[in-house]
Chains A and B, each alone.
Chain A
Amino acid sequence: MGARALKIGYRNRELLYLAVVGVLTGLGFASVYIARQALVSWGSLGYAVFFFALYLAAHLVVRLTVPSADPYLLPMAGLLAAIGVTEIYRLGASDAFKQGLWIVIGVALFAFTLWRLRRDYRVLEQYKYLFGIGAIALLLLPRVPGIGTTVNGARLWVHVGAYTFQPGEFSKVFLIVFLAAYLREKREVLAQARLKDVGPLLVIFGACMLALVASNDLGSGLLYFGIFLGMLYIATARLSFVFAGIVLFLIGGVGAYEQIPHVHERVTIWLHPWTSTPVYCPSTGGLALRQDCESYQLVKSLYSIANGGFGGTGLGKGTFTTTDGHQLIPYVSSDFIYSALAQELGLVGAAALLLVFMLFVARGMKIALQADDGFSKLLAAGLTLGFALQTFIIVGGVLRIIPLTGITLPFVSYGGSSIVANFVLLAGLLLVSDRANAT
């Protein structure tokens, strides 16, 4: 099979899978409608048609710009986004409309990135400090008076008019580009630990971490730290760096646990979500069972997951509100979308969903393995690792494997900046893949 035949095969395969995703989206929405027949009309099936058309447009851009790129990633991302928007629609139709709009913007930015960098994305290497400083700047943006907004105790949002977004999501991509470029250049000399080699790396990364800790964004802090350690290890092959990093992390973690009440609270909730006697409740200042106070969200989310059982309640048939219409789980469509899906799709559906995440990671890492140059390898591995760690941190938090920190589930959670940033991440992976396959 020649190179040209391979290209056409790849893109046609992609088209076929996208068609499958379109059908699945249609089925998902149909299922929600049937479950809620008293409230909605068949006309809303337009959602499925709309998404298929949108993905078709993305596919055409891919065909034109990165014809040799991996054919599985776009359909998988499309599937995850479709599952997300279906569940968000089921939880609240108005949010789904906004999410749909964000997916359009995400696909547009995805197309723009592919188009802009189609000749050689490696030009980015030259701007590495711009990306590094950009990452810090984005993280600091919410702290600028007038445009920053505090939500749920963390100052992570920027509002422009009626819309808010979380610049931290883009900061992650910027930091990965910086790390890939910087580590490619300095990987041979880092071990000598000269200030001029290590300094800029530590300054930029350290500034990011400080900005995150200062804004109480522990989930992202963990994510950035993991990405940093992973990429450092890939670049230098030195496990000692990793161990040193882990030791530093543990020291920092214990320090934070002792000193920062927010961290202490998260760990306490994680270890002991249920109490049988009332304990101090910071939000009311009185005494309450912990499951009725601090760990309310986590516990309600676990009930939701457990209620799914093996087969789930079925899309649209789960229970997320009390009999008088109050939300059982706060932030269910953003941070806790996984518990909603686990209830409605059951173990079978949740495991299938996680399998899609695993396949995405496997394909991303394969691209890193196939890439020819250090920057491409580091970029693809970094982007994939970021995707994998983000998934683990939020779902692991919801499942009580690690303390719960609120970040989004890539492509699935409700949240504009997350969707857009992940489509840009996807574009990066496709660019690397196209280059690796084309040569």
Chain B
Amino acid sequence: MNRQISTVALISLVLLASLVVATTYWQSWEAPTLAAKQDNAIQLVAQFHIKRGLIYASDGKTVLAANIAQHTAGGTLFFRRYPTNGLASQVVGYSTQGRSRAGIELADNAYLTATNANLGTIFDKLSQTIRGATVTGNNLVLNLRVNAQKIAETALQGRCGAAVVLNPKTGQVYVMASSPGYNPNKIESASGFASILNSPSACPGSSSALYNRATEGLYAPGSTFKTVTAAAALDSGLAKPTSSFFDPGYCTEYGKQITNALDQNGPERFGNVDLFQAFVHSINAVFCDLGIKIGAKLILDEAKQFGFYSAPPIDLPPSEVAASGLYDFSKHRLFDSPALVDPGRLAFGQERMLVTPLQMALVAAGVANNGTIMVPHLLNRVLSSTGGTVVTVHPKVWKQHAMKPATAAELNQMMQGVVSSGTGAAAQIPGVLVAGKTGTAETGLPNVYTAWFIFFAPADNPQVAGAIAVEHQLNGFGGSVAAPIAKQLMQAILPTVSKQ
């Protein structure tokens, strides 16, 4: 019988050994595949065992995103809380169980969960894992200025719109406000989420509060786009600030009259003007003629040099940043064929040109920075959980030659003229040279406009540049609605910038 017993023993042991082989297969060979499966709830839960890094505003003290610990049978779980209840809500974003992530919480998830590849972080995490301590993510310090951000959000309260302010020399984003905002602490609950998803009452039919209007909102730029048209004309040498035009109150395109903005006496008429004056008074007829003269291709090429047709490389999730350009409404798609557009209306920012407030802020920043546009960035530095600096974000150039430096200098003068003696007078600040350009874009609804103002200051040594866009303004104009907000923001930031 012993021979048979040995055989059965051998078979039994082989069967058990096969279990070791199969375990090895699942735990090493197949482990990454299983970890990547969508229904793998363990991976989902594991994220909540990590103590995510905190997110601070530029002062390094104001906490925009924090954690609350919850002790459960499965160990300590960390859930996000947003102490400001929604300051810069779309920028900070959220990290939740049910709704995944958005904003900085998504874009910088690797830093926040200590899964970035920086050597220091790898060592910290390894030591935490070995000691059995909670893995703690890196903290982020943003460039957002709490004070100015609050001013922007208060100014936009009850309205739909966005404000972007950045440093034209470094690309640091000081303010990025999108109104309405939301309280990220409410995202997790079904009713809270539903209320956030509702279309805002201030702008019926427009996108919900979740949407970052500063980077995703696409608006007709109106007259702010004249900056790009003027840059194209000046860069190409086809016009100078002193080039003279005649304004009959309208321009003729394809045999039809396109009239200037109306005042109480009907369409404004300026008669003989030069390009400088046409820019300062934002005369559509002149720009319409200029557009016809230089052609749509030149304008679109100039726009591309400013970064149109590509999403600005800001440190937000790519899905939350839109590219500016001509949009085919029926297909929701960009197109850039000059033959298909009307150059006269394109020149003053109508046609099917749609832009984001961020892109227009970068246009102003390009003029302010001698024709060079810096990469806009929200993140200032990354700190380890013990306080050491992991990464410092340095300024980088995005568009080296958006326009010639000489063009930038001329446009700088023209934009100063807008504020000192033109449509942007509401942005004047005593003792500071402010440059700007207003815009009042038609929306297709009668007398309802998007009010724009793009700006930078001080014009002789620019420290801030930005764009304000306010949606759904009934007879509200760029100069009267948007420029005063820009003034408040410049006043809030300028003294603190110059101190540094």
Contacts and interface: CB of A to CB of B under 8 A. Distances in A.
B73 interface: yes
Nearest to A307: B42
A432 B36 CA distance: 51
A426 interface: no
B41 A388 contact: no
Contacts of A292: 39
Interface string A339-366: 0001000110011001101100110010
Given A321-B72, A401-B22, A365 B8 contact: yes
The B contact surface, by secondary structure, is helix
B35 A307 contact: yes
Contacts of B9: 361-362, 365, 368-369, 381, 384
Contacts of B30: 306
Contacts of A39: 71, 73
Interface in B20-57: 20, 22-28, 30-31, 34-35, 37, 39-46, 48-49
Interface in A25-47: 34-36, 38-39
A234 B23 contact: no
Contact of B27 (A308, A358, A362): A308
A377 B1 contact: yes
A118 interface: no
Contacts of B76: 38
B498 interface: no
A161 to B, nearest CB: 28
A286 to B, nearest CB: 17
Contacts of B15: 388-389, 392, 396
A304 B17 CA distance: 21
A377 B5 contact: yes
B97 interface: yes
Nearest to B77: A323
Most chain B beta carbons < 10 A, residue from A302, A323, A354, A358: A323
Given A35-B75, A292-B39, A369 B6 contact: yes
A233 B12 contact: no
Interface residues of B, number: 50
A300 interface: yes
Contacts of A274: 37
A264 to B, nearest CB: 23
Contacts of B23: 305, 342, 347, 350-351, 354, 399
B45 A322 contact: yes
Main secondary structure of the interface of A (DSSP, over half): helix
A57 to B, nearest CB: 30
Contacts of B16: 354, 357-358, 361, 388, 391-392
Interface in A87-123: 92
A310 interface: yes
Query: A38, A307, A400 — which one has the most chain B CB atoms within 10 A of its CB?
Result: A307
A325 B73 contact: yes
Contact of B48 (A233, A300, A307, A323): A323
Q: Which of B8, B13, B45 has the most CB of A within 10 A?
A: B8
A376 B49 CA distance: 54
Given A309-B27, A384-B12, A304 B42 contact: yes
A361 B13 contact: yes
Given A234-B8, A347-B28, A362-B13, A303 B40 contact: yes
B330 interface: no
Interface of A: 34-36, 38-39, 92, 230, 233-235, 237, 274, 289, 291-292, 299-300, 302-310, 314, 316-317, 319-325, 328, 342, 346-347, 350-351, 354-355, 357-358, 361-362, 365, 368-369, 374, 377-378, 381, 384-385, 388-389, 391-392, 395-396, 399-401
28 contacts: A34-B132, A237-B3, A299-B39, A302-B26, A303-B34, A303-B35, A303-B43, A306-B26, A306-B27, A306-B30, A310-B27, A316-B75, A321-B45, A324-B97, A328-B45, A342-B27, A350-B23, A350-B27, A351-B24, A354-B16, A354-B19, A355-B20, A358-B17, A368-B5, A377-B1, A384-B9, A389-B12, A392-B16
Given A302-B34, A381-B8, 14 more contacts: A39-B71, A303-B35, A303-B41, A319-B46, A320-B74, A346-B27, A351-B23, A369-B2, A369-B6, A391-B19, A392-B19, A396-B18, A400-B22, A401-B19
